[in-house]
Amino acid sequence: MKEIMNDLYMEGQLDVEIAPVLQRMQNRIMKQTTYHGVITHKQPLDFWVYQEMIYELKPDVIIEIGNCRGGSTLALAHQQDLMDHGRIIAIDIDHSLLHEKARAHPRIEWIEDCAVAGFDKVKKKIKKTDTVLVIEDSAHTYKHTLKCLRLYSELIKVGGYMIIEDGIGRHGLRFGESPGPFEATTQFLTENKNFVADRDKESFFITWNPQGYLKRIS
């Protein structure tokens, strides 16, 4: 099966199971995917959903937790450029790998800190009137993800979203810890009834964020 997926094209393989398709996509994302020349570890179908959400919600602030080289941060900033609205707070424990294109974008404010330990720094930069979209893409451990959910959820107004990435780990792809982000969202939704998993945001069927689009409903 692996050889088939590596050597042939889709039109001749319509009966292939989804598991090797997901792995091939993961290999492409981790080894080749770029945005404006910046390495970007982002599933493109999910990012298409992100831009739809940004256009619909028009958040005043996007908080991106986990930035790596800044490719996805730059892409988010460009979406804001198109609307001429919004700013980004980008927090990561290490910004040494940031690409100069991302580092220089005027809509992005960079905070080098742990998302949990640095939460108060982020919160101080949010106005009471701001609508906020949170995208969590950092450690991908159960404990860290759940702590981020509990902290950053207080910044979300009714109708707003938190996006928890890479719940596909151990739920479609063999990477990451178990329990991981998927189980963290399950626990969070059990204890916080103000949020629900908006599975309609998974309408491409293939997503790296299963149960990860969390909408505040009350």
**Structure confidence at residue 13 (pLDDT):** 80
Task: For residue 44, name the pLDDT band (cuts at 50, 70, 90).
Answer: very high
Query: Each residue of 87-131: pLDDT tens digit?
Result: 999 999 999 999 999 999 999 999 999 999 999 999 999 999 999
Same domain, residue pair 86 and 145: yes
Rg over CA atoms, the chain: 17
CATH of the domain at 50: 3.40.50.150
Domain check: are 11 and 66 in the same one? no
Whether the Cβ atoms of residue 210 and residue 176 lie closer than 8 Å to each other: no
Question: Quick one: CA torsion of 78, 202, 168, 87, rounded to 10 degrees?
Answer: 20
Cβ–Cβ under 8 Å, residues 187 and 143: no
Residue 18: domain span: 1-32
Report how far apart, in Å, the C-alpha atoms of 124 and of each of 121, 127, 128, 213 are: 5, 8, 10, 25
Whether residues 114 and 172 fall in one domain: yes
| Residue that has been written with the tokens 């949990």 in this structure | 116
